[in-house]
Amino acid sequence: MTVFLFQLGVGRWALGVGRFFFFVFIAATTFAQNPDPPTFGYGPPTALPPNYSTTTPSARPRQNWIDQSQAEADAKSAGCNQCHSGVEPMHQASHVVLGCTDCHGGNPARGLKKEQAHILPRNKEFWKTSANPPNSNVWLNHESPEFIRFINPGDLRVAKQACGLCHDEIIRNVDHSMMNHGATLWGAALYNNSGFYLKNYRFGQAYGADGAPLRLINYTPVTPEDTKFHGILPFLDPLPRFNLSNPGNILRIFEKGGEKQLQLGIPTTEEPNGKPLRRLSERGLGTLNRTDPVFLGLQKTRLHDPLLGFLGSNDHAGDYRSSGCSACHVIYANDRSPTNSGWWSKYGHQGLSFTAD
């Protein structure tokens, strides 16, 4: 019995040692195949790569904003602080060292006039104060990228240049998100009302730095199976002009009446509801009133209830907001009730600034 137990113990010991050396072999093989540690998940890249050797004679990479000194960052805010004295830092984290012009642009030299330090708009009549103007609609599309970056570095037209060094992946995701392009809303309205024949969404909103509408193309190849089973779309086109559209229901052209042609967008007050006395245009499709009302409605509502591509309406409580990333990250209260707006309710609901400067 003693011999048997001794043999059993030796066998277990040998099995344990064998397992130990097996896992050591696997780990060594894996490390040999991947000698460099993973670099993802550790924040933005630094000027010096993680595997940079201080003993190897080579040229040092040029510094970037992330690892600039505090003195360099302060020089980019020197002139700004002469007028905006006491303004709170935009980043509370001590390891984020940035100056004003790193994000906003402009001229930070001391002793400049406002017009010299600021980036001026192309259309001064629209931007009379520092507040976001009400009902600005598409004004941003007619301004320079430098001015857009100056008033709002988080605007998606310029966010990659202003914030992309640290937040590039986030900006890319927001650029292709429902909050920006609105494809789900537009696609449902068009398909359910026979405005467009495809159930897979086709149209979305996005603009370049020059204000041109963009086609959003997926970063990775998309197969028909991806679209069918996962709802992944290969691209989204800009919303077409409403006067190029055709009615979803062609029979509406033969509505009752026709003494006079109905002027586009001007209703007749004497008509009974649901019983139009004047039919649509005598001309062909895509002219006068022979257009699709859903496309027309989308073109109007996207301006009065904008997505992230434009500023909020800024004329009523709950929509005093900026564009792009700043629409969410610059806090504003929807109303004055602590129940709904919490700690921010004490600042009111009129979109006023309460910064120290």
pLDDT band at residue 228 under the 50/70/90 scheme: very high
Q: In which residue are the tokens 């037209």 written?
A: 157
* 216-231 average pLDDT score: 92
Q: C-alpha angle with apex 260: 258 to 266, nearest 5 degrees? A: 110
Domain of residue 112: give its range.
65-175
Of 344, 298, 350, the closest CA to residue 321 belongs to: 350
In a domain, 102, yes or no: yes
Per-residue pLDDT, 41: 47
In a domain, 196, yes or no: no
Please say whether the beta carbons of 107 and 115 come within 8 A: no
* 168-186 average pLDDT score: 91
Please say whether the beta carbons of 236 and 181 come within 8 A: yes
What's the chain's average pLDDT?
A: 79
* 138-148 average pLDDT score: 93
Query: Is 284 or 75 the better-scoring residue by pLDDT?
Result: 75
In a domain, 121, yes or no: yes
Per-residue pLDDT, 1: 45
In a domain, 33, yes or no: no
Cα–Cα distance between 340 and 357 in angstroms, integer? 28
Q: What is the pLDDT of residues 38-62, one digit of tens each?
A: 444 455 555 566 666 666 666 666 6
Q: What is the pLDDT of residues 82-118, one digit of tens each?
A: 999 888 888 877 778 889 999 999 999 999 999 999 9
CA 19 to chain CA centroid, Å, is 52
Q: What percent of the chain has pLDDT over 70?
A: 71
57-66, 114-123, 207-216, range with the lowest pLDDT: 57-66
In a domain, 34, yes or no: no
pLDDT band at residue 234 under the 50/70/90 scheme: very high
pLDDT band at residue 2 under the 50/70/90 scheme: very low
- Token digits of residue 230: 């996962």
Per-residue pLDDT, 16: 58
Per-residue pLDDT, 336: 83
Query: Is 129 or 273 the better-scoring residue by pLDDT?
Result: 129
Q: Looking at the 3D structure of the chain, how many domains does it have?
A: 1
Euclidean distance between the first and the last CA atom of the chain, given in angstroms as a whole number: 89
**What is the Cβ-side half-sphere exposure of residue 287, based on CA atoms within 13 angstroms?**
6
3-state secondary structure the chain: CHHHHHHHHHHHHHHHHHHHHHHHHHHHHHHHHCCCCCCCCCCCCCCCCCCCCCCCCCCCCCCCHHHCCHHHHHHCCHHHHHHCCCCCCCCCCCCCCCCHHHHHCCCCCCCCCHHHHCCCCCCCCCCCCCCCCCCCCCHHHHCCHHHHHHHCCCCCCCHHHHHHHHHHHHHHHHHCCHHHHCHHHHHHHHHHCCCCCCCCCCECCCECCCCCECCEECCCCCCHHHHHHHCCCCEEECCCCHHHCCCCCHHHHHCCCCCCCCCCCCCCCCCCCCCCCCCCCCCCCCCCCCCCHHHHHHHHHHHHCCCCCCCCCCCCCCCCCCCCCHHHHCCCCCCCCHHHHHHHHHHCCCCCCCCCC
Of 322, 131, 337, the closest CA to residue 349 belongs to: 337
In a domain, 266, yes or no: no
Please say whether the beta carbons of 304 and 313 come within 8 A: yes
Residue 273: which residues within 8 A CB-CB, separation 6 or more?
none
Q: What is the pLDDT of residues 237-257, one digit of tens each?
A: 999 888 888 877 766 655 555
In a domain, 160, yes or no: yes
In a domain, 6, yes or no: no
Q: Is 346 exposed, middle or buried (0-12, 13-18, 19+ CB in 10 A)?
A: exposed
Residue 179: which residues within 8 A CB-CB, separation 6 or more?
307, 308
Of 218, 195, 209, the closest CA to residue 299 belongs to: 195
Cα–Cα distance between 64 and 72 in angstroms, integer? 11
Query: Is 280 or 123 the better-scoring residue by pLDDT?
Result: 123
